[in-house]
Structure 1
């Protein structure tokens, strides 16, 4: 109809017949191409500009480092400088864009060479390992599509950790075009990393244990400090920003389930292949270091990690990490649960740093590792004898505006419910984030030596360990009290007074102030840590900071200029975190009649993040068909580095060519 009207219109203006045909065909071709382009882009895309990550020198930087002290001490970013400086801060913000590396662990358990290799080792182990641990429904392709659709502007590189096969080859996704190079950056978007590239001891390979692989994944070469870890069955469903995962102000964003608590011991528990025995074992390690507590379950979702902190954790438990890496299958022996350990290590280190900052770096005035009588009296006066009541804090009252003022996107889908700037979240049989009131029993918490006026000087280490870890309720109540002294915002009452830097030996700093950080529980049954490991761990708390700020100090035994306030601020900032809630759906596939119903629920809910967990006994082709159909419908937009993308574009061209010229003019391409 449109073609006839066009011809009649052209005849009316008296054009030659050949010109009329040419113009008609040209307009028809243009219209068809535009319609194809529109169809090709119907799937949602982020709508953000694509960053050239090679032009960004750092994944995160701030123009003025003085904001850190201002933020930690006052909980604000307001500048005390001139009006021009304030306007500049308001217009630009103190912080630049943030980039993350994305890390996937992946295996195709359906590949013949892999199945033969796995069955060989499984028979030797005598374990009964379910098939669905390794089954592949092509989820990785669509998980990466979800990341590219909803988080594209904040990705530096995507790493996929794959298995080395014993025939000298390796697994890699069949859909991935390994030769694809980004024409803008001149670099590949996805990098394949073999197990032999990241395991510190390759004699333990091959491995079929996801917990073993996770324990080594932060050894990927050239990995950025800020990392988001995905299992291949996790998908993004909505646009997210860096603040949904990590910010330089509030730190890592953790998704916890405080109604689901992990116990701190293993007594009488049988070893199982699932994650819960690993969780119990990991909480036991945490409890031996930081105090015996139940700790909240970490949601089976995406995990924001730090490469530097992860390496610090490995240095704290080197033998346990090596043992986990050597277990070829889950359920052989006790494994470390890496993401649970990282989450609660950060939470506990922040608590420990608050206590150290107040009791050691602030109250030990002469920094000699002892509390003198005058210092002890000041501690007692500051803490007071009255009942401690928690005051209302305003840290999260307007956090989206605070992030925007810092030139950072506010979280699109995550709601912050707790900030470490408000202390320590406490869970017990009735989970809540904090106690509203408590009492400090000084005789119980600090001990007789501390309270004895006849003792002119008492060593700090033993007393600090007792009140911070062994009797952790004491440390919790002290934090609550000092928070109230800090007011509604900031942590000023925890921080040492501004003073000239002190010159002293690095090893004195370690022996006097940081040794408690590396204590090994006297009751620990498996005390395998040697003296050289302890020395290495003693270095860990200050070596990262001083290596970056005092690069001229080549030897640990050289004298160092120490600004205790600056040191405390940086340590608190390094372990900052927030607890947030985000819409999340966990779908466990079990039976055919239930699977499509559960997948449709995701369509209806449209969660921000969702997981499709394969728990199907045996091989069920119907469920496999359901999953693939669902993923193709949900994530239609392929990526440029998918091999199928080129074939799809060729088919579009053929369709267009045949419709315009007819099939008899087909030219093979």
Structure 2
């Protein structure tokens, strides 16, 4: 055999061996990926997440029974104010009493929330009003569709009561006895202004309809972006209280001298709780941008909430234990909606690109410390907006930064009542 033929034969053998090795390498890599995927899916199943169905179209009965839940407190009640004052004094928070008390100032919107439900969502099965034991004076107590639920009925740990913290209350809502599997949660400052159906909240394929704002948790201090916390790398810029000492990334490490970069973070307990929840999600799903859903009515699923509680039992227990708003609380709505997004359960049409549609979805009336004349003009503009835009919701929120006399408070209540009586002139069957 000539040298040329021998070389050709050996070349063929080498090529064969190379191809065989390549095939074997691909096979081994495929098997490793397959095993890793199996292990991942098995872990998710332990956490209550079924990957076989999370992305499939699970048909939803759009005529299923759905309840509405409101949380409500009468911040003008002397007994309530006395307990709140006592708690604030016990934790030495005299300097924040004005802001705390103004947060509970009730301008009387709940009555009109119920009028709007009867007018625009009569298909709702039951209305649960969660309170600390207070009952609205105007409420018809024996109405078959309205149920007052006290905090004591839903808090598993009664030592957490009394509480003045909405995150603590919201984290326990799924325990309401007799509550529908899916329920709509609305604050008592959200009113319907046009007809809605269950299809406004979820598609027949089980995709939730969520509108996002452009706002998102961004910096937990002046030097550290929130996506750097719980990303697997110890970052000294993030080793401050506002960034939770870089989460689990710097366990066992000695923090550097405090650089003075937290700023006013600790005074914004709501955004602090959003960031705390974001850090937990970073560890679960990896760091990424997470936008905040707009303030409005949202649909929740008790099964998913129960699974989230099992995932974070200590964190939810701590949230439930806080007496007033605290930055180390789970922001219940933010976690639920981000979980939907991570598991592919949000309708693509309601993603961020369509979130800033300012027309025809929501009109907002922000009450603040402006003069009586200026507020009357503001209400006139709001009425005009509702007529022109025909939105789905009206949101009446407040931002009172100064102490107010009882006379001034009553003037604000009268202005709001006159406005809402004009918008919802007919009494509902829920009223005496």
TM-score by length of 1: 0.46
How much has 1:241 moved relative to structure 2?
A: 1.4
**Structure 2 vs 1, CA of residues 579 and 622 (structure 1 numbering), >3 Å: closer, same or farther?**
closer
Q: Which structure ranks higher in relative contact order (CA pairs < 8 Å, sequence separation ≥ 6)?
A: 2
Alignment match, 2:44: none
Q: Deviations over 1:524-543 (max 9, x none)?
A: xxxxxxxxxxxxxxxxxxxx
**Structure 2 vs 1, CA of residues 580 and 432 (structure 1 numbering), >3 Å: closer, same or farther?**
closer
Q: Does the CA contact (< 8 Å) of 1:253 and 1:580 recur in 2?
A: no
Alignment match, 1:177: 140
Alignment match, 1:100: 66
Alignment match, 1:262: 217
How far apart, CA to CA, are the structure 1 residues paired with 2:73 and 2:178? 23
Alignment of 1:327-338 (within 5 A): 327-331=322-326, 333-338=327-332
Corresponding residue to 2:381 among 583, 597, 601? 601
How far apart, CA to CA, are the structure 1 residues paired with 2:158 and 2:268? 23
Corresponding residue to 1:162 among 131, 139, 146? 131
Alignment of 1:583-602 (within 5 A): 583-590=361-368, 591-592=370-371, 593-602=373-382
**Structure 2 vs 1, CA of residues 579 and 589 (structure 1 numbering), >3 Å: closer, same or farther?**
closer
How far apart, CA to CA, are the structure 1 residues paired with 2:311 and 2:348? 30
How far apart, CA to CA, are the structure 1 residues paired with 2:321 and 2:56? 41
Q: Does the CA contact (< 8 Å) of 2:66 and 2:184 recur in 1?
A: yes
**Structure 2 vs 1, CA of residues 243 and 580 (structure 1 numbering), >3 Å: closer, same or farther?**
farther
Q: Is the aligned partner of 1:193 residue 2:162?
A: no
Q: Is the aligned partner of 1:340 residue 2:334?
A: yes
Unpaired segments ≥5 residues, structure 1: 1-67, 78-93, 164-169, 181-187, 352-395, 397-415, 420-424, 426-430, 434-577, 644-669
**Structure 2 vs 1, CA of residues 98 and 600 (structure 1 numbering), >3 Å: closer, same or farther?**
farther
Corresponding residue to 1:290 among 285, 289, 293? 285
Per mean C-alpha deviation after superposition, the further-off stretch among 594-603 and 100-109 is 594-603
Q: Is the aligned partner of 1:641 residue 2:419?
A: no
Q: Does the CA contact (< 8 Å) of 1:271 and 1:334 recur in 2?
A: no
How far apart, CA to CA, are the structure 1 residues paired with 2:129 and 2:146? 7
Deviating runs (4+, > 6 A) in structure 1? 578-581
Alignment of 1:373-522 (within 5 A): 418=349
SS state at 1:587 partner: strand
**Structure 2 vs 1, CA of residues 322 and 256 (structure 1 numbering), >3 Å: closer, same or farther?**
same
Alignment match, 1:314: 309
Alignment match, 1:149: 119
Corresponding residue to 1:110 among 49, 52, 76? 76
Q: Does the CA contact (< 8 Å) of 1:235 and 1:611 recur in 2?
A: yes
Q: Deviations over 1:1-50 (max 9, x none)?
A: xxxxxxxxxxxxxxxxxxxxxxxxxxxxxxxxxxxxxxxxxxxxxxxxxx
Q: Does the CA contact (< 8 Å) of 1:254 and 1:304 recur in 2?
A: no
How far apart, CA to CA, are the structure 2 residues paired with 1:335 and 1:272? 14
SS state at 1:613 partner: strand
Q: Does the CA contact (< 8 Å) of 1:418 and 1:579 recur in 2?
A: no
Higher strand share: 1
How much has 1:125 moved relative to structure 2?
A: 1.6
**Structure 2 vs 1, CA of residues 132 and 432 (structure 1 numbering), >3 Å: closer, same or farther?**
same
Q: Deviations over 1:158-205 (max 9, x none)?
A: 000000xxxxxx21111112123xxxxxxx111011101111111011
Alignment of 1:561-580 (within 5 A): none
Q: Is the aligned partner of 1:304 residue 2:299?
A: yes
Q: Is the aligned partner of 1:132 residue 2:88?
A: no
Could you say what the CA RMSD is over the residues aligned between the two structures, in angstroms?
A: 2.8
How much has 1:580 moved relative to structure 2?
A: 9.1
Alignment of 1:44-83 (within 5 A): 72=56
SS state at 2:429 partner: coil
**Structure 2 vs 1, CA of residues 95 and 623 (structure 1 numbering), >3 Å: closer, same or farther?**
closer
SS state at 2:418 partner: helix
SS state at 1:222 partner: coil
Corresponding residue to 2:178 among 222, 225, 235? 222
Q: Does the CA contact (< 8 Å) of 1:161 and 1:195 recur in 2?
A: yes
Query: Size of the alignment, in residue pairs?
Result: 324
How far apart, CA to CA, are the structure 2 residues paired with 1:231 and 1:172? 16
SS state at 2:209 partner: strand
How far apart, CA to CA, are the structure 2 residues paired with 1:276 and 1:249? 33
How much has 1:584 moved relative to structure 2?
A: 1.0
**Structure 2 vs 1, CA of residues 280 and 123 (structure 1 numbering), >3 Å: closer, same or farther?**
same
Alignment match, 1:506: none
Q: Does the CA contact (< 8 Å) of 2:194 and 2:392 recur in 1?
A: yes
Q: Does the CA contact (< 8 Å) of 2:62 and 2:198 recur in 1?
A: no
**Structure 2 vs 1, CA of residues 120 and 148 (structure 1 numbering), >3 Å: closer, same or farther?**
same
How much has 1:641 moved relative to structure 2?
A: 2.7
How much has 1:417 moved relative to structure 2?
A: 5.7
Q: Deviations over 1:193-236 (max 9, x none)?
A: 11011111110110001111111111111211111101001111
Alignment match, 2:165: 209
How far apart, CA to CA, are the structure 1 residues paired with 2:107 and 2:289? 36
How much has 1:637 moved relative to structure 2?
A: 1.6
Q: Does the CA contact (< 8 Å) of 1:273 and 1:330 recur in 2?
A: no
How much has 1:273 moved relative to structure 2?
A: 4.6
How far apart, CA to CA, are the structure 1 residues paired with 2:329 and 2:340? 20
How far apart, CA to CA, are the structure 2 residues paired with 1:152 and 1:217? 22
**Structure 2 vs 1, CA of residues 642 and 338 (structure 1 numbering), >3 Å: closer, same or farther?**
same
How far apart, CA to CA, are the structure 2 residues paired with 1:345 and 1:623? 39
SS state at 2:394 partner: strand
Q: Deviations over 1:229-276 (max 9, x none)?
A: 01001111111111111233142211211x222233543543225421
How far apart, CA to CA, are the structure 1 residues paired with 2:353 and 2:135? 45
Q: Deviations over 1:554-584 (max 9, x none)?
A: xxxxxxxxxxxxxxxxxxxxxxxx9998611
SS state at 1:339 partner: helix
